Amino acid sequence: MGTCGVHGRTVAELTACAGAELRAGDSAAEQAGNVRILGVSEVHTEVRPGDLFVALQGRHHHGASKVAEAVAAGAGAVLTDAAGARSIGRDPGVPLLVAEHPRAVLGPLASLLNGHPSHHLPVFGVTGTNGKTTTAYILEAALRRLEQHPGLVSTPETVVGTQRGPSRMTTPSAPHVQDLLARMRAAGNRSAVMEVSSHALDQERVNGVRFDTVAFTNLTHEHLDYHGDMESYFHAKARLFTPEFAARAVIVVDDDAGWRLDRLARRRGLPTVTLGTRPGAAATWHLAGVEGADEFELHGPRGPMRLRAPLPGEHNRVNTALAALMLLGAGHPLQEVARALDGPVRVPGRMERVDLGPGWPTVLVDFAHTPDATAKSVSALRARTRGRLVVTASSGGDRDTSKRELTGRAVVESGADVVVVTDDNPRSEDPAAIRAAVMRGVDAAVQRLRAAGQPIPDVVEASTRRDAIRTALELTGPQDTVALYGKGHERWMEIGPPGARVPFVDSDEVRVAARQIGPRAASPAQAGPPPGRGGSGWSAAPVAP
Ligand SMILES: CC(=O)N[C@H]1[C@@H](OP(=O)(O)OP(=O)(O)OC[C@H]2O[C@@H](n3ccc(=O)[nH]c3=O)[C@H](O)[C@@H]2O)O[C@H](CO)[C@@H](O)[C@@H]1O[C@H](C)C(=O)N[C@@H](C)C(=O)N[C@H](CCC(=O)O)C(=O)O
Ligand SMILES: Nc1ncnc2c1ncn2[C@@H]1O[C@H](COP(=O)(O)OP(=O)(O)OP(=O)(O)O)[C@@H](O)[C@H]1O
Ligand SMILES: N[C@H](CCC[C@H](N)C(=O)O)C(=O)O
């Protein structure tokens, strides 16, 4: 990887940058120090001639076991840790750099080799359990309207110049991050928006990026398979909030983690502004609005701003407000920010409507795959659905198992009328076992509602997602809403061993199922089961409370 062209950097320069020790093996140290390195890679299959191969200890392998292949592919030098150096043993045939924490210096080295791209364009980083992608897209659209020509690094897509393409990861490896920023710079982007995942922070993938403004959305139950507990998860997120990474931060303080992060960031010397939606919260900015409406006001030190969220739900007002405060923090005038945020934004697979025409329910595809996201999304749709709200409940395999029951519980407690328990990406697990876990949460919540004398949803299990989609359409009419959760923008289903995928697109499946079911009568009076548990009627525009 790397785009520093034919010039590159010498091994001596990289050794100094990495704080490493240069072991020249059989070659003379001076000669080794003069070797020119053109790029950097941490995956042996991505090594290009003249690259520095950085051999890291991972969860499964030590990259040092791939040094011979990397050198055969043309690696000009190798950087590793003491354990890696021991396992390489004999002279690898190229200069060997040994550092205490090569992972920590991989990003800075990649930045150096790419001409420090983040020093030349403002980078906006968004982290938090839910809302990163949505906030990033809202911000990207606004920066475009402000003629800041943003690049984008996000879960669904990456934008370099004006080219949009699918992403493989939310936040890629350090060499890829720096390579993307360098390519953005070369392609004329004048700003960049980047989602920063907790995995990326834990694995130091954004080390070496200088962020202009970083933002925190929230911290709720997720990724405990990786982080172990919420405390470690918090500390992974908190890594981003230091003056070394960013010039300033915007922090949503609707949960305890937000307040705690604000205190921690300020103690570290990072200037912060806070955003609260709870009445009486001692935040810098407050979001005020009528429940269920997309319009809202933002009150704070620089006066009220009137804004409109481009997607429904309270959570999307927060995402919009966060984007506004990031832009204000970066120095854009208030009126311009308000204007730039006033317009449609398409966020792939987030509250995305699938238009089937008259006679059909409102169908939405949404990426809610955590308990909190599911609760927020179901509540938002409940408030806008005149008829019945039919939702899928599912969870991915080989991921946090403890969120499955909580997700099942969330759909019931947030007001769904019909819950269709089905599959997401089963990966290597037995899909029936995952559904059973989700169903336990659904059942427990139903029992609680029943005991409290409250209305309870109908519950169906569909052993394939295709069946679930068809069932949801068959059950619904034009007054109803169908929400398909979990897969959002994904264009595949992961089934079987790691990496195994079959094509599967929720919105395509909806259209196929509608065609199979056949035409629907256009009149709302003729179709659809009786009204559900409540709600005030779906509308693309906000429904009056
Ligand atoms: C759990 C996790 O994040 N794993 C990442 C991690 O894998 P690992 O620790 O198992 O790596 P490893 O296989 O032990 O290899 C160690 C080192 O040897 C190198 N190696 C390894 C094997 C080989 O044949 N050749 C080789 O060079 C590897 O490049 C690596 O540097 O390091 C790898 C190399 O950088 C990543 O590809 C891999 O991401 C995997 C694919 C992944 O699925 N990650 C997901 C969970 C992830 O990061 N998701 C977040 C979004 C989460 C969210 O917010 O929703 C994201 O930012 O995308
Ligand atoms: N601020 C928010 N708070 C809670 N839930 C949200 C928020 N914003 C969006 N959501 C819900 O979470 C889902 C995922 O949103 P989004 O993709 O923006 O988050 P993300 O942090 O990028 O998620 P991921 O890391 O899984 O890609 C949305 O489809 C929506 O249901
Ligand atoms: N980045 C998230 C995406 C989850 C998407 C959902 N469809 C699933 O498979 O669980 C993860 O890897 O946990």
Q: Which ligand is nearest to the CA of 133?
A: 2
Query: Distance between CA 391 and CA 515 in Å, rounded?
Result: 20
- C-alpha torsion angle, residues 74, 80, 83, 89 (rounded to 10): 30
- Ligand 2 centroid from CA 369, angstroms: 8
The single-letter DSSP state of residue 343 is S
Is 426 known as a binding-site position? Answer: yes
- Ligand 1 centroid from CA 173, angstroms: 8
CB half-sphere exposure, 206, CA atoms < 13 A = 32
Q: Which residues line ligand 2 (CB under 6 A)?
A: 130-134, 155, 170, 195, 217-218, 315, 318-319, 350, 366-368, 372-373, 376-377
Q: Whose CA is nearest to atom 47 of ligand 1?
A: 199
- Ligand 3 centroid from CA 507, angstroms: 18
Residue 170 CA: nearest ligand 2 atom is 27
Name the burial class of residue 451, with classes exposed (0-12), middle (13-18) and buried (19+) by CB atoms within 10 angstroms of its CB. exposed
Looking only at the bridges linking them, the beta strands covering 96-98 and 123-127 are unpaired
Whether ligand 1 lies within 6 angstroms of the CB of 68 is answered as no
Q: Which ligand is nearest to the CA of 258?
A: 2
Is 316 known as a binding-site position? Answer: no
CB half-sphere exposure, 153, CA atoms < 13 A = 30
**3-state DSSP assignment of residue 376:** helix
- Ligand 1 centroid from CA 200, angstroms: 10
Name the burial class of residue 379, with classes exposed (0-12), middle (13-18) and buried (19+) by CB atoms within 10 angstroms of its CB. middle
Residue 155 CA: nearest ligand 3 atom is 1
Looking only at the bridges linking them, the beta strands covering 150-153 and 211-216 are unpaired
- Ligand 3 centroid from CA 385, angstroms: 27
Q: Whose CA is nearest to atom 9 of ligand 3?
A: 396
pTM for the model stands at 0.95
Q: Whose CA is nearest to atom 13 of ligand 3?
A: 399
CB half-sphere exposure, 115, CA atoms < 13 A = 15
- Asked if residues 191 and 122 have their Cβ atoms less than 8 Å apart, the reply is yes
Residues paired with 502 in a beta bridge: 493
Is 15 known as a binding-site position? Answer: no
Query: Distance between CA 438 and CA 442 in Å, rounded?
Result: 6
- Ligand 2 centroid from CA 139, angstroms: 15
Q: Whose CA is nearest to atom 40 of ligand 1?
A: 169
Which of these, 469, 488, 484, lies nearest to 349 by C-alpha position?
A: 488
Whether ligand 3 lies within 6 angstroms of the CB of 486 is answered as yes
Question: pLDDT at position 260, please?
Answer: 98
Question: pLDDT at position 91, please?
Answer: 87
**3-state DSSP assignment of residue 52:** strand
Residue 377 CA: nearest ligand 2 atom is 31
Taking residue 498's Cβ as centre, other Cβ atoms within 10 Å add up to: 8
Phi-psi region of 499 (alpha: psi -120 to 50; beta: other; left: phi over 0): left
Query: Distance between CA 241 and CA 265 in Å, rounded?
Result: 5
- Asked if residues 411 and 419 have their Cβ atoms less than 8 Å apart, the reply is yes
Question: pLDDT at position 534, please?
Answer: 38
Q: Which ligand is nearest to the CA of 372?
A: 2
Whether ligand 3 lies within 6 angstroms of the CB of 422 is answered as no
Query: Distance between CA 436 and CA 352 in Å, rounded?
Result: 28
Whether ligand 3 lies within 6 angstroms of the CB of 425 is answered as yes
Query: Distance between CA 537 and CA 214 in Å, rounded?
Result: 37
Is 185 known as a binding-site position? Answer: no
- Asked if residues 146 and 339 have their Cβ atoms less than 8 Å apart, the reply is no
Whether ligand 1 lies within 6 angstroms of the CB of 65 is answered as no
Q: Which residues of the chain have pLDDT under 70?
A: 1-6, 25-28, 523-545
Q: Which ligand is nearest to the CA of 139?
A: 2
**Which residue in this structure is represented by tokens 């690049």?**
151
Is 170 known as a binding-site position? Answer: yes
Question: pLDDT at position 247, please?
Answer: 98
535 backbone dihedrals φ, ψ, rounded to 5°: 100, 165
- Ligand 1 centroid from CA 92, angstroms: 24
Is 129 known as a binding-site position? Answer: yes
Residue 168 CA: nearest ligand 1 atom is 58
First to last CA, the chain: 54
- Ligand 2 centroid from CA 16, angstroms: 41
Query: Distance between CA 81 and CA 136 in Å, rounded?
Result: 35
Question: pLDDT at position 531, please?
Answer: 45
CA separation, residue 2 to residues 11, 41, 81, 211, 419 (Å): 15, 8, 22, 20, 48
Helix (H) or strand (E) holding 160: strand 157-160
- Ligand 1 centroid from CA 491, angstroms: 21
Query: Distance between CA 46 and CA 149 in Å, rounded?
Result: 29
Query: Distance between CA 121 and CA 150 in Å, rounded?
Result: 9
